[in-house]
Amino acid sequence: MHKIRGAHFVLAFLAVILLPGFPGAAELPDYQKYTGPIKPGVVITKQNFDTYLPELKKLLPPAKLKWMSMGINEGLATLPVVKTTYAAPTRGQMEATRKYAGTARIGADNQLLNWTAGFPFPEPRNAQEIAWNCYPTISRSSAHDDLALYFTYFLFNKAQYEKYIKIDLWDRKYRGRTDIMPLGDMSEFTEKGVAFKESIIVHEPNEVKGFIQLRVRYWDLHKPDEVYAYIPALRRLRRLTGADLTDPLLGTDCVPDDFEVWRQKLDSRMKFRVLEHRDFLVPKTYVGMKNKPAYDYKKHGSCFQLEWEIRPQWVLEIMLNDPNSVYSKRVLYIDGVSLDQGGSYLLYWGEQYDQKGRLWKANGPAPPAANEGGFKNLFGWLYMNYQTDHYTVMNGYPAYVKGFRETFPLKEEEVFSVKGLLKRAN
């Protein structure tokens, strides 16, 4: 990465050559390229599924393989493989990454130090650095400074439709903003230490209409999130605990700590390890609203009809080391294309294991969305319970691809305050 390296290349070189004990110097595995028969032009269908199954086991994470196997064999979708495309990060993200490359470091208790903006470690040397590069609170490779997302959850028992929930969601980053005004650090961070806020409003069906939730995340790793929810049936505003954030949201398979694959706060107990760096099949990123893949829950059920591409992934294991959590570990599948080649550390998939070590839940984008400026989020998402075969499919669109100028920047008092959310919900 000649453009990003700059002067800090010399420091990195000396650290690795002169200091053999440098943390993470030999921690990352070599990249393993896939050379099998699945390649652009191949379309996997119900008729040839068994032929390609041995190769699919190499190219899909366990839970994603189970999901796609069900969808293909039920005739809900096919799996067409296309040429890999590259949707680079925004210009602001890349400029900040180049400007501050080599300044950030990881201190005690997994803390990120000396970070200003952009991806903190454009050339990661260890698992901790990859974790911070994809951590949604700061890097926001799939939502950036502000986000408005409008979507519907469809719930399925395997392929059998159950119900829907219609939701609006907003995000805002308060530190290290690079693309949407105001840039840099906002007063919520400089004065209160707030790094991020997220809010939702439920509009349908009537039995949950008016539910709101507001989450406030502090930069301090030792300060827990503040989360508030308004429960219409009780007509009460309730402050949620950390345990509540691992409960399914309104009967769906989605829990708030699994938003954007990994919404759980990074903390000092977590231990990180990169298991692999190799090729996987991932959904293609679709640029522009006109290219949004069609989704009909009656036709596609708990699947999407997408185009897929072969793309390098980092496989990151996070041991939570928290006996009070419902999960023992997370395994994340992270975009492994280098930044100067169009990569973005996008979280493509995540799998969560229960305290007995069993694969329990999984989720990821299907498909990702982008606009011409590099702003990314999603057109669809899949949450699944691996043990019960229950699925929640999210279909919608971000304001990046429809109504950007009319939406951003977001108004703080309207979407990041309980009073404003209640007003919008009524």
The total number of residues written for the chain in this structure? 426
Beta-carbon contacts of residue 286 (< 8 Å; ≥ 6 apart): 292, 293, 367, 368, 369, 370, 379
284 close to 85: Cβ distance less than 8 angstroms: yes
Helix (H, G, I), strand (E, B) or coil at 275: strand
Q: Is residue 53 left, alpha or beta, with left meaning phi > 0 and alpha meaning psi from -120 to 50?
A: alpha
DSSP conformation class of 48? T
What whole-number distance in Å separates Cα of residue 229 and Cα of residue 256? 12
Distance of CA 355 to the CA centre of its chain: 23
Task: Give the start-to-end residue ranges of the domains of the chain.
Answer: 2-144+152-162+254-410
What whole-number distance in Å separates Cα of residue 271 and Cα of residue 127? 9
pLDDT at 102: 97
Beta-carbon contacts of residue 321 (< 8 Å; ≥ 6 apart): 269, 270, 271
Beta-carbon contacts of residue 375 (< 8 Å; ≥ 6 apart): 90, 144, 179, 398, 400, 404
75 close to 299: Cβ distance less than 8 angstroms: no
Long-range Cβ contact pairs of 320-326 (< 8 A, separation 24 or more): 320/264, 320/269, 320/270, 321/269, 321/270, 321/271, 322/267, 322/269, 323/355, 324/242, 324/243, 325/246, 325/355, 326/246, 326/354, 326/355
pLDDT at 244: 80
pLDDT at 198: 96
What whole-number distance in Å separates Cα of residue 199 and Cα of residue 214? 4
pLDDT at 23: 39
pLDDT at 2: 44
pLDDT at 249: 93
pLDDT in tens, 7-44: 443 444 333 333 333 334 348 999 999 999 999 999 99
Tokens of 385: 């319970």
Which residue in the block uniquely carries the two structure tokens 């903390």?
267
367 close to 80: Cβ distance less than 8 angstroms: no
pLDDT in tens, 189-221: 999 999 999 999 999 999 999 999 999 999 999
pLDDT < 70 positions in the chain: 1-26
